[in-house]
C-alpha cells in the first residue's frame, strides 16, 4: 500500500470515528433535553436552589454536547472530502 493510500485509509477512519461519536453524542443531547423538564417538575422550586443549579448544569452540558456534535460533523465532512480527493 502506498503512502497516499495509507493516509487516505487513516483519514477515512477518522471520518468514520467522528460520525460514530457524533451520533452517540446526539443521543446524549436528546436525553439531556428530555430530562431537564422532568428534573424541573420533580424538584422545581426547592428552597436551596438545587433545582436551578442542576437544571443550569444540565443545560450547559447539553450546549457543550451540541457544540461537540457540530465540530465532529465538520471534521467528518472535511476528512471525507479530503480523503476522496487523495
**Structure confidence by residue, pLDDT tens digits, 17-57:** 999 999 999 999 999 999 999 988 888 777 677 788 899 99
Q: Kindly state the average pLDDT of the residues 52-74.
A: 95
**What's the rounded Cα separation, in Å, for the pair 53 and 58?**
9
Domain that holds residue 54: 3-79
Is there a domain that residue 84 lies in? no
- Asked whether 13 and 28 are in contact (CB, 8 A), the reply is no
Is there a domain that residue 44 lies in? yes
pLDDT bracket for residue 14 (50, 70, 90):
very high
Q: Kindly state the average pLDDT of the residues 76-83.
A: 94
Number of domains in the chain: 1
Residue 61's contacts (CB-CB under 8 Å, 6 or more residues apart) are: 32
- Listed residue (36, 80, 75) closest to 54, CA to CA: 36
Amino acid at each position: 500500500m502506498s503512502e497516499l493510500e495509507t493516509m487516505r485509509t487513516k483519514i477515512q477512519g477518522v471520518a468514520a470515528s467522528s460520525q460514530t461519536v457524533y451520533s452517540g453524542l446526539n443521543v446524549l443531547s436528546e436525553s439531556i433535553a428530555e430530562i431537564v423538564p422532568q428534573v424541573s417538575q420533580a424538584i422545581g422550586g426547592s428552597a436551596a436552589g438545587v433545582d436551578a443549579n442542576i437544571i443550569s448544569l444540565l443545560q450547559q452540558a447539553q450546549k457543550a454536547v451540541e457544540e461537540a456534535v457540530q465540530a465532529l460533523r465538520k471534521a467528518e465532512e472535511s476528512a471525507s472530502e479530503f480523503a476522496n480527493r487523495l
